[in-house]
Amino acid sequence: MSKTLKIGIIGSGGIAGAHAKAYKQMLGVEVAAVADIIPGRAGQFIEHWELPHAKAYDDYRQLLDTELDGVSICTPNVAHFQTTVDALNAGKHVMLEKPMSVTLEEAVTMAETALKTGYMLNIGFQPRYDPNMAIIRDLISSGELGKVYYVETGGGRRRGMPGGTFIRKDIAGAGAMADIGCYSLDMAMNALGYPKPLTVSAFTSNHFGTNPLYHKEADKFDVEDFGVAMIRFEGDIVLNFKISWAMHMDSLGAALFLGTNAGLKVTPSGSGPWSGVFDGSVGSITMFHDVQGHHTESPIPVIQHQTDLFHAKVWDFAEAVRDGRPAPIPGSQIVRNQAVIDGIIRSAQTKKEVDIFLPSPFA
Ligand SMILES: NC(=O)c1ccc[n+]([C@@H]2O[C@H](COP(=O)([O-])OP(=O)(O)OC[C@H]3O[C@@H](n4cnc5c(N)ncnc54)[C@H](O)[C@@H]3O)[C@@H](O)[C@H]2O)c1
């Protein structure tokens, strides 16, 4: 009989529950430890989620001293860096919630630590597990569009601003760009084979979050609720990226991939003020091409599926640990996603186009 996989959870707030629920449903996996910086919170979490084998800790370093195969890191963004580096150095595989980090420097050190220690650093982008995202990636990487030279991604919620830890720069690091923007970037960059970003020219604002008319925590809101950026990639590809948590508009449009042979239009699914971004699933996929000289629009059938994307990402991580596979969504790749977000923040601050510097082996 194979041994039971022991998992720890660091940070037992909102999203940690989804991790606990997924691990609980896996055979041969047990949540053996939970840590939260707020005294008593880990214990309450263990009780709430009925984790009979789990021990509670107030200090995650004590959790890392115990025998565990892997940890889910579910702290606010600002704590991703230290907890991840410490976990990898303690010999634990890491399933890290998005976004990877607050700064590019942190992301680089985290990915370097994974490479140095040989432990896995896996980033939790659950939209990757939507089979339609795989169709988009496969269509683009197959070369069917020809040379892809222009991409639009992102999207906009009419009204979908979170609160709490998400709106404070000292805890979240950034706002909509990091929160939902990292998914849209991943969708496009993954389809393109994660090309190296070279420069960014960006604008961000927070007219809604800081207005008490629109946000009840307006006095605490100091991150961006809107952003737009033009990103140049190696291979002469340009990306027009836009994101909004709130706006007076129904949509910021579809994702577009323009290639020399064909174009692809992808719309997000869902409706209502919190929809309109690629943080969940795909609404439609249409190929624009010429067939025998005629402008043709070919709908690509969207797979209606029952996959629980969140469970899929947690299970894939645990199975990769058990089977000795590499990280399904490796930190070494997502460094480039974080580099774009870092570039957006720098460019928006300086109001100038900025260069992106990536050290080897991520360059
Ligand atoms: N993938 C998704 O769909 C998804 C959804 C929501 C949140 N998230 C991400 O998950 C992370 C957590 O979000 P949340 O909504 O659960 O936040 P939360 O504020 O509800 O929970 C975070 C918990 O971490 C604890 N914590 C903070 N610093 C800690 C430390 N050093 N050691 C141990 N515990 C610590 C806090 O006390 C809190 O209980 C964020 O990075 C967020 O972006 C992902």
pLDDT in tens, 8-44: 999 999 999 999 999 999 999 999 999 999 999 999 9
> 4: burial class by Cβ within 10 Å (0-12, 13-18, 19+)?
middle
Is the same domain home to 64 and 143? Answer: no
Spatial CA neighbour of 202 closest among 159, 180, 232: 232
Is the same domain home to 152 and 57? Answer: no
Residue 182 CB neighbours (<10 A): 24
Is the same domain home to 10 and 120? Answer: yes
CA-83 nearest atom, ligand 1: 31
CA-35 nearest atom, ligand 1: 33
CA of 162 to the centre of ligand 1 (A): 13
Looking only at the bridges linking them, the beta strands covering 197-205 and 255-259 are unpaired
* Residue of 36, 49, 329 with the most ligand 1 atoms within 8 Å of its CB, for mutation: 36
pLDDT at residue 1, rounded to an integer: 43
How many domains is the chain partitioned into structurally? 2
Q: Which amino acid is at 27?
A: L
Mean per-residue pLDDT over the chain, rounded: 96
Could you tell me if 272 and 96 are in contact, meaning their C-beta atoms sit under 8 angstroms apart? no
* Total length of the chain: 363
Range of the domain at 189: 128-307+339-355
Could you tell me if 347 and 120 are in contact, meaning their C-beta atoms sit under 8 angstroms apart? no
Q: Which amino acid is at 239?
A: L
CA of 134 to the centre of ligand 1 (A): 28
* Residue of 9, 10, 15, 44 with the most ligand 1 atoms within 8 Å of its CB, for mutation: 15
Q: Give the long-range contacts of residues 43-47, CB within 8 A, separation 24 or more.
A: 44/12, 45/9, 45/12, 45/16, 45/17, 45/20
CA of 266 to the centre of ligand 1 (A): 30
Read off the CATH number of the domain in which 105 is found. Answer: 3.40.50.720
Is the same domain home to 202 and 351? Answer: yes
Read off the CATH number of the domain in which 197 is found. Answer: 3.30.360.10
Is the same domain home to 315 and 242? Answer: no
Cα separations in angstroms, 171 against 48, 79, 317: 26, 8, 26
Enumerate residues lining ligand 1, CB below 6 A: 10-16, 35-38, 41, 60, 74-77, 79, 83, 97-98, 124, 126, 164-165
Local confidence band at 2 (pLDDT 50, 70, 90 cut-offs)? low
Strands laid side by side in the 29-35 sheet: 55-57, 29-35, 5-10, 70-73, 93-97, 121-124
b/e burial code for range 265-276 (CB count within 10 A of at least 16 → b): bbbbeeeeebbb
Is the same domain home to 42 and 178? Answer: no
CA of 199 to the centre of ligand 1 (A): 31
Is the same domain home to 295 and 276? Answer: yes
Is the same domain home to 143 and 100? Answer: no
Q: Which amino acid is at 148?
A: V
Q: Which whole number is the average pLDDT over 217-243?
A: 98
Does residue 346 carry a pLDDT above 50? yes
CA of 237 to the centre of ligand 1 (A): 34
pLDDT digits (tens, 9 = 90+) for 325-334: 999 999 999 9
Is the same domain home to 147 and 278? Answer: yes
pLDDT digits (tens, 9 = 90+) for 178-229: 999 999 999 999 999 999 999 999 999 999 999 999 999 999 999 999 999 9
Is the same domain home to 301 and 314? Answer: no
CA of 164 to the centre of ligand 1 (A): 11
What global pTM score does this model have?
0.96
